[in-house]
Amino acid sequence: SVAPYEGEPLDEDLYGVSISSFLRDLRKVVTGHGNFCLRLSRLMVHISLLGALVSLQCFLIYEMRVMVCPDHVHTIRAMYDKFEAWMYDNHTWVTEYDDRRGLDGFWDETRFHSMPKEDQEAICALPLAHPYFAFCILLLWTFTVIVDIRRLSFLIKLLIGRVPTVATVYDIFRHDDDERNGRPIREEGKVILVGLTLGIKAVLLL
């Protein structure tokens, strides 16, 4: 939970686990309380997993761009080039990308039925041949991205802007000053975050 939004939990995913581990284990490591090797190794494991996840996402995006998209884009362009030439009975002009496009006044929709069957099926399978379906897919993807951005913006505003800045890592959690190890106070099994140092805020912002 995060003050002043008490009761606001972190997401139950790798990002939430990484933030939780970063704050709790880093405090133990810096203050020298608890099992130093255990805390440090857990902190490093979570940071490594987070770095691996981000790297995997970047790798998949790059590989999709290099290995998947070019072939599909080339196939779609070639098929549409053939479609334009057929439907306009070769009354076409050539674009700067060497794609043929029909001249105004020569479109003949009846020629579609005389097109080879496999070409008809290929044209009808193109994504833009089904605009409503493509729109729904893009809309769902857009909503997903918006939700992720909204959650990220909320966490940035909460952890960077609203959470008070404290002087030391020792003070980031609500704790009992009389406790021998300064352990965070648990309320209903939850550790309460009361502040962050400037250094931790900078790291979380990155």
Determine the 3-state secondary structure of 46 from DSSP: helix
Kindly tell me if the per-residue pLDDT of 51 is higher than 50: yes
Kindly tell me if the per-residue pLDDT of 2 is higher than 50: no
DSSP state of 194: -
Kindly tell me if the per-residue pLDDT of 183 is higher than 70: no
Please give the Cα distance from 158 to 125 (Å, whole number): 46
Q: What is the pLDDT of residues 89-132, one digit of tens each?
A: 999 999 988 899 999 999 998 999 999 999 999 999 888 888 89
Q: DSSP readout, 133-188?
A: HHHHHHHHHHHHHHHHHHHHHHHHIIIIIISPB-SSGGGSB-B-TTSTT-PBPEET
pTM of the model: 0.62
Determine the 3-state secondary structure of 190 from DSSP: strand
pLDDT for position 85: 93
CB-based contacts of 105, cutoff 8 Å, min separation 6:
none
pLDDT for position 40: 82
pLDDT for position 93: 93
Kindly tell me if the per-residue pLDDT of 3 is higher than 50: no
Q: What is the pLDDT of residues 21-36, one digit of tens each?
A: 888 888 877 777 777 7
Contact indicator for 200, 172 with CB cutoff of 8 Å = yes
Please give the Cα distance from 118 to 79 (Å, whole number): 11
Please give the Cα distance from 191 to 188 (Å, whole number): 9
The DSSP element (H or E) to which 191 belongs, if any, is strand 190-191
